[in-house]
Structure 1
C-alpha cells in the first residue's frame, strides 16, 4: 500500500452515507455519543436534519442532555410520554420548547397526555407536514382531544392515525367527507362506529380496531369497502353469522387477523364453513391469522377438539394456503378451548400447560409457535399448579417462550423457591426486560422470600422495570419490601410497589439511588396525603416531575440529595450516628 493511500475508516465516509447510518441510531446516541467523537462527527450531527426524538423510558439526566442539544428545525419525529416511567415529561418538555418551533414535524406520538398539555400542543403546533399521529389521552376531558383529532384528520398529508381511550368522544368526531387517511388504529369502539369508519374513509387500506361486541343485527350497512386490504380486529364476543356479515363488507382483504376473546361452542363448530367462505368471498386473502377463546361453564360442555381440528387438515389449509392451525383445551379453575393459527398471533398469553391437551394440523409444530408472545402470565397460586414442579425436566435447556420480555408472576407461599426456578425454565431470562411479582400471604415463618427474589433478580441481567406486590400483613410487608429494594440491581431503572403508608414511601425514597422512576400503588383503607409526600420530596429532590391519579403516584426522579447526616453507599443510604 502506497504512502498516499488512506486506510478506509468510518471517518472517511461521505456525509450522505453517514446520514443514512444515523437514521438507524437512537437520538441520544447521536447527540451524546457521536457528536463528541471528533470535530467532523460533531459537524455531521449538527447538520443532520432527520432526528427521531423518542423520549420514552429515558432518565431525567438524559432528557436534559437531549433538550440542550436538539434543534427543533432538525426534528421530523417526536415521541413524548407521561406513562409510569416518565410521568410529567410532556409538561416539562413544553416548558423547555415552544412546540411551534418543530415546523418540520412529520410524526408525532403523545402517550398518556394530559388535557392541558394537549391543549397547548393543539393551539401552537404546526401540523402542516404531519404524516402520522398517535395519541393516548388520559382523563375524561373531551374538548382538548377532540380539537387535536379534528385538526389532524383534516390534514391532506396525514396517512396514519392511532387513537386510544377516545370512546367518550368518538361520536363527536367530524370525519371529512373524503378523508385521505390510509392507516387507522382505534381502541375501542362500537359496531356502529366501525361501520361509520368504513363509510367515511374510502381510501383506508389498513385498519386495526377493537370492538366491544358484534351481532348480525349490527351489520346493517350497504357500504362495500374495496380499498381495505389489511384488517385486524379484536372482538369481545360475536357469533359466526355476525362475523361473516361483517367480512362481506371488506371483500378485498389480503391480510386478516381476528382475535375473539369470548365466542361460543357453536362458533367453533361452524369453522368448516370458512374454507368455502374464503374461496368465494375473500378471494384475494393471502394471510389469515386468528385466536379464538371459548369459556365452558362445566366440564361436560367440553367437546372433541380432535374432530374440530380435522376440518383444518384439508388441502386448502395445508397445501394451498399453508395455514397451520392448533386447538387446545385447558382444565384448570375454568374450562377453556383455544383455536389459533401458528404462530400465535397474540402478544399476551397465560400459561396453563399441565392442564391442556393439544391437537394440530401437523404432527410436529414449528419451533416458532410462541415467537410473538412478549408477555407471559404464570399464576402458580392454584393448588393444581403444584404438579408443575414434578412434571417438567429440571435439566431441560429448551424454553417454550423464547421471545418473552414481560413476565407476570403470581407465586404462593411455601413454593416460592420452586416457583422462581420453574419460571426461569419457561423463558429465556436474558431477554426479560419487565418483571412483575405478586407474593401471597401464606409463607412459612422460617422462610425468607427475599433470598429467592434476590437470586432471580441477579440472573435477569437486562431487566429494566420491576413491580413487586407483597400480599401479607403490613408489618412483615414493610421489612421485606425494604430488603428487596436494597437488592434491586443497578440496571433496573423503574420500580413499582404498593404504598400502604406515607412513612413507607419516604423510607423507599431514602433507599433508592439508581432508579429513574418510581410508581406507588396506593393501597389501604385511608387515602394517603400525596401533597405532604410531594412537599417532603421537594426538599430531597430538586428536579422531579409526577403524575398523581386516584390510586397511583408516579414520580420521575432527578438527582436525590442526601440529608446532611447521611452517607451514600452503593445500595442504600446509611445513617451516621451523631
Structure 2
C-alpha cells in the first residue's frame, strides 16, 4: 500500500519558513503570499513583528505602497528607499505621515530620491540618531537649502560607522557643510562640487576606496594660493575613481576614467602629459581629442567613445599625429554614434596593431571602404569586428547597390577564416511623399555585421528596400537582432505596400526589443499592426512611444490600429504620446481616447492643451499608477486646480514644474453615504419642486 505525501508550506517548521522569507523581498511576501490562508497570514504577521527587513518603494504603485505600509513595524526596518520622482510624486511626505520617523531605530541604509528641502530638514533632524551605514540624498533643488540642513548633514557625516555617502552639493558652492577631521566613509559620491572639496577629500577621507564625482569645475574656481595637497596624504586605498562632466583630470595611479565632455566642444580640460589610465570612456568628444589620446594615454588598453563628429569639426592645419606614438597596448576600441571620416579612421587604426576587439557604429562618408586590406595589413590580432554603418546617397548612381557593396565581404577571409558575416540594406526613398520640397537622399545604405550589436534599430519595409547578405541563414537565424533594445518605425516608410505573402514569410527578427517608437508621418497603412507583429514580438514590449510629425489632417484608421496594437502588446505598461497626437486624429475628444487605453497601461505621459482633458483622463482611466502631463505652454495655475479637483476623488500625491505635472495615483475615494436627515431633506425638496 503506497503512502501519499502532500507537500504544504504549512507543515514546514517556522524557522524554515522564516528562512524562505529572508530570501524574498517585502513586496513578494505581502502582495503574493498574504491572504493565501489564515495560518500563513499569522506567520507573516509574526515575521514582520520579529524580523529585520528592507523596504524599497521606488517606482511602486500607490495601492501596493499603502498595502505594504499596513504591515510595517518601523523598529524592524534596516533599509528604506523613498522617492518623489515623476512616477511616485509626494511619496516621502506621505510615508512619514503614516509613521513616526523616530521609531526607525534600526535603520542602517537610507536612500532618498528627488526630495524637497522642507522634507529633508524634517528627516535629518531624526536621522542623526539612526545607526546609518549608508546615506544617499538626491535633492530636487538644493539652491535654497538652509544652513540648518548643512549643519544637520555635518553632524551625520562626522558620525563613526557611516561607510557609504551620496550627496548633492550646491551648484554655486555656497554650502556650509563642516567636513569631519577623520571619516570612516569608504564609498563617496558627490554632485556639483568644486576645487575646494578636493583637499577635504584627500585630507579627511583616509578610508575612501571608491569615489564618484559628477559636475565639477576645476578651472573657473581656484582661490589664490590654492594648491591641492595630494602629496602629503596619498590615497593608496582608493581603487575606483569616476568623474563625469569635469573640466580637468590629472592624478597618477588613476586607471579607470569615465568622462562626459561638453557637446559644443567648449570644455577647457587640461589633459595630463602622461597618464596611467588603462580604461577610458568619453562622451561627446570631437576630432581634437584624438591626438591627445594617442600622445598622452600610453597605458590605455580599452577605449570607448560615444557621440563624436569626425567630419564637421576639423581645425585648419589640424593633423592627427598618430605615427610618432603608436598605441600597441590598446586591445579594445568601441566607437558608437559617430560621424566617421574614413580617411581618419584608417589613419588611427593603422597605428593600433594590438587590437583584438573593434566596434564601429555611425554614419560614414565612404561606404566601399577596403576593410579586408586594412585588417590583414594593420590589425593582425583582430578576432572580433562589429560594425553598423549608415550612408545617404543623393545622386542617381546605379553602380552603388547591395550586391556590389556586399561583394568584398564574400571572400574566404571573411567567411572561412574569420567567420564574420555581413548584411547590406538599401532603402529607396519615395519623392512623392516629400511635401516640403526639401533636398532628400535618393536612397539610404545600411551596412552591418551580424549578429547586430546596436541597442537600437530603424526598421524598413521589405517592399521598399533591397537586402544582400553573406549569411545564407540570416532569414532563419532568430538571434540576429537579440541585442536590439529599441525599434524605430516610421509610418511614412511603412506606407509602401506590403503583400500578404511577404508578411507571412517574415520571421520575428526582434524577439527581445522592449521599446517601440512609432513616428507618424502619414496615415497608418493598411494591416499596419499585422506587419509589425511579423517582425517584432509585440508581447515582449514594455514601452510604446507615439511621435506625431504629421500634417493637421484627420486619419480615421489611427484609433483602430492603436487598439489592435495595444491588444497584441499586452505587456506594455508605459505609454508616451508626443506632439499633440490626439489633436490630429479622429479621436477628437478625450472621452473616446480614454476608451482606447487598455488595462495593462500603468504609466501615461501625454501632451495636454486643454485643462479639462486632464480631468477626463484621471476620471476615466482608473487603472493608471502614475501620469505625467506635459503642457504645450507654461500653465502656472493648472496644476493647483487639477490637484484640488482630484483631492476629493482619488488618493494622490504629485510634483510639478513650469511645464509638467506628475501624479502618483492611489485608490478612488468612496463617496460618503447620506444621513437619514439629508435624505429626508432631499425628499422634501423634491416634493416642493
Q: TM-score band, normalised by the shorter chain?
A: 0.7 to 0.9
Q: Supply the RMSD in Å over aligned alpha carbons.
A: 5.2
455-464 or 111-120, larger mean C-alpha shift: 111-120
Q: Is the contact made by 1:236 and 1:261 (CA closer than 8 Å) also made in structure 2? A: yes
Q: Which has the larger radius of gyration?
A: 2
Q: Tell me: CA distance 1:521–1:35, structure 2 relative to 1, closer, same or farther (3 Å).
A: same
Tell me the equivalent position of 1:30.
29
Contact 2:546 / 2:581 at 8 angstroms: preserved in 1?
no
1:524 Cα shift?
A: 4.9
Q: Report the equivalent of 1:569.
A: none
C-alpha distance in 2, partners of 1:85/1:293?
33
Alignment of 1:352-501 (within 5 A): 370-381=481-492, 386-387=495-496, 389=498, 393-415=502-524, 417=526, 419-442=528-551, 445=554, 447-469=556-578, 471=580, 474=583, 479-501=588-610
Within 2, Cα distance between the matches of 1:372 and 1:153? 46
The alignment partner of 1:536 has SS state of helix
Which of 294, 298, 307 aligns to 2:369? It is: 307
In the other structure, the counterpart of 2:386 is 325
1:95 is the counterpart of 2:97: yes
Q: Select between 525-534 and 6-15 the one with higher mean Cα deviation.
A: 6-15
Contact 2:634 2:659 in 1 (8 A): no
> Judging changes above 3 Å, is the alpha-carbon distance between structure 1 residues 219 and 405 closer, same or farther for their aligned structure 2 residues?
same
Cα deviation, 1:522-548, whole Å, max 9, x if unaligned, reads 12587653322222222222x211111
**Cα shift readout 1:24-69 (whole Å, capped 9, x = no counterpart):** 5442112343355514454445544342x22233221211122222
Matched, 1:212 2:262: yes
Structure 1 runs not aligned, ≥5 long: 566-577
Instruction: Give the CA deviation at 1:456.
Output: 0.7
Secondary structure of the residue aligned to 1:279 is coil
1:174 equivalent among 197, 208, 212: 197
* Contact 2:249/2:270 (<8 A) preserved: no
Deviation sequence 1:81-135 (CA, Å, 0-9, x none): 22332122123223334556556555554433333334444554357643574x6
1:229-308 matches, cutoff 5 A: 232-239=281-288, 241=290, 244=293, 248=297, 251=299, 257-264=304-311, 279-280=328-329, 282=330, 289-294=334-339, 303-307=365-369
Contact 2:523 2:558 in 1 (8 A): no
User: Does residue 540 of the first structure (1) align with residue 649 of the second (2)?
Assistant: yes
Which residue number corresponds to residue 113 of structure 2? Answer: 111
Q: Scaled by the length of structure 1, what TM-score is found?
A: 0.73
Cα distance, 1:453 vs structure 2: 0.7
Deviations 1:231-261 (A, max 9, x none): 5443354545256159728x476x6543225
**Which among 641, 665, 672 is matched to residue 557 of structure 1?**
665
- Flag the structure with higher helix content: 1
> Aligned to 2:523, what secondary structure does the other structure show?
helix
Residues of 2 paired with 1:361 and 1:216: CA distance?
44
Distance in 1 between residues matched to 2:617 and 2:30, nearest whole Å: 33
CA contact 1:466–1:494 (8 Å) conserved in 2: yes
Between stretches 217-226 and 65-74, larger displacement belongs to 217-226
Given the superposition, is the C-alpha separation of residues 113 and 350 from structure 1 closer, same or farther in structure 2, using an over 3 Å criterion? farther
**Counterpart secondary structure, 1:413:** coil
> 2:70 aligns to what SS in structure 1?
helix
Per the alignment, in what secondary structure is the counterpart of residue 438 of structure 1?
strand
Alignment of 1:41-190 (within 5 A): 41-44=44-47, 46-51=49-54, 53-97=55-99, 102=104, 105=107, 107-125=109-127, 129-131=132-134, 133=136, 136-139=138-141, 141=143, 143=145, 158=163, 169-171=192-194, 174-175=197-198, 176-177=201-202, 179=205, 181-183=208-210
Q: Which whole-Å CA distance do the structure 2 matches of 1:362 and 1:163 have between them?
A: 52
1:429 offset after TM fit, Å?
Answer: 1.3
- What displacement does 1:560 show? 2.5
